Amino acid sequence: MNESAIILRSARRKRTVALHVQADGTLCVQAPMKTSVAWINRFIASKAAWVARRRARAKEKAARPVPVIEEGSCVPYQGHLWRIRLVEAGDASTSDEDGVILLSLPTGLSDEGRRVEAQTELTLWYKRQARRVFAERVEHWAAPLGLRPARLIVTAPLRQWGSCSATNAIRLNWRLIMAAPELLDYVIVHELCHIPHKHHGRAFWRSVEAAMPDAKALRRTLREWENSGHQHC
Ligand SMILES: [Zn+2]
């Protein structure tokens, strides 16, 4: 784990200093041009416990084994574990079954080739389900709230589950398809409420909680799920 810190100066940043711990443990400090190094060092020292917690989390994540996708593996989908079935491409005898993910692989691959292909096919499967389910859920919430995004984009932002742009395009991370449906709903409601409120102020949270009274608890559950290594079983 890297214990060093990088300080990035920004002319655009006026007052606040932002800290972020990267996957390799490096501490990234974004600071305004004029802030002194001594002040920044004192600020980092005052956040030592937070930085240590983030580094511990990054270390744990880095040590987690990469899951191997093979026949019978189970993977998360909408909060449940679904079983992987590998079939030969063109095999028409198999049909869709609840709780089972069918991935078709070309014939004649090496073991390593099959593993790579299975992983690729699984990602494509997740993205297909995400596009379908997210559109349904956005529609489910958009009508009663009277908040409709200009566009819905299913994507994979690095550190976010969702975002809402200045032009009201909502982006949702396809990996949310692995989470329980109520966590996906929380992210959708959160982003829809950013259409009228481009901030995390009181008015924003009031509208989130009016739509979804247990939003705060769901937000905590989403953080826990995020840190629990939900990617495999
Ligand atoms: Zn937000």
Ligand 1 centroid to residue 60 C-alpha, Å: 26
Task: Indicate the pLDDT class of residue 88, thresholds 50, 70 and 90.
Answer: confident
User: Within a domain: residue 172?
Assistant: yes
Q: Residue 159 is part of which domain span?
A: 74-227
Question: Is 129 found in the same domain as 59?
Answer: no
Ligand 1 centroid to residue 167 C-alpha, Å: 15
Ligand 1 centroid to residue 194 C-alpha, Å: 7
User: Within a domain: residue 165?
Assistant: yes
CA distances from 167 to 98, 124, 150, 170, 193 (A): 38, 28, 7, 9, 14
Ligand 1 centroid to residue 133 C-alpha, Å: 21
User: Within a domain: residue 59?
Assistant: yes
Question: Is 195 found in the same domain as 150?
Answer: yes
User: Within a domain: residue 233?
Assistant: no
What mean pLDDT, rounded, does the chain reach? 89
- pLDDT tens, 160-171? 899 999 999 999
- pLDDT tens, 95-130? 667 899 999 999 888 888 998 999 999 999 999 999
Number of DSSP helices (H) and strands (E) in the chain, helices first: 6, 9
Stronger pLDDT, 67 or 151, i.e. the higher one: 151
User: Within a domain: residue 232?
Assistant: no
Question: Is 124 found in the same domain as 42?
Answer: no
Report the CATH number that the domain containing residue 140 is assigned in CATH.
Answer: 3.30.2010.10
Question: Is 91 found in the same domain as 48?
Answer: no
Question: Is 148 found in the same domain as 173?
Answer: yes
Ligand 1 centroid to residue 112 C-alpha, Å: 41
User: Within a domain: residue 45?
Assistant: yes
Domain count, the chain: 2
Residue where a domain terminates, one of 63, 86, 103: 63
- pLDDT tens, 35-53? 888 998 899 999 999 999 9
Ligand 1 centroid to residue 75 C-alpha, Å: 28
Ligand 1 centroid to residue 183 C-alpha, Å: 14
Question: Is 215 found in the same domain as 142?
Answer: yes
Q: Sort 166 into a burial class: Cβ within 10 Å, 0-12 / 13-18 / 19+.
A: exposed
- pLDDT tens, 9-32? 887 777 788 888 888 888 888 888
Amino acid type, 130: A
List of long-range contacts for 200-204, beta carbons under 8 Å, 24+ apart: none
Residue where a domain terminates, one of 35, 63, 91: 63
Question: Is 80 found in the same domain as 24?
Answer: no
Question: Is 80 found in the same domain as 183?
Answer: yes
Ligand 1 centroid to residue 68 C-alpha, Å: 34
Ligand 1 centroid to residue 110 C-alpha, Å: 45
Ligand 1 centroid to residue 115 C-alpha, Å: 37
Which of the 8 DSSP states describes residue 201? Answer: S
Question: Is 166 found in the same domain as 53?
Answer: no
User: Within a domain: residue 68?
Assistant: no
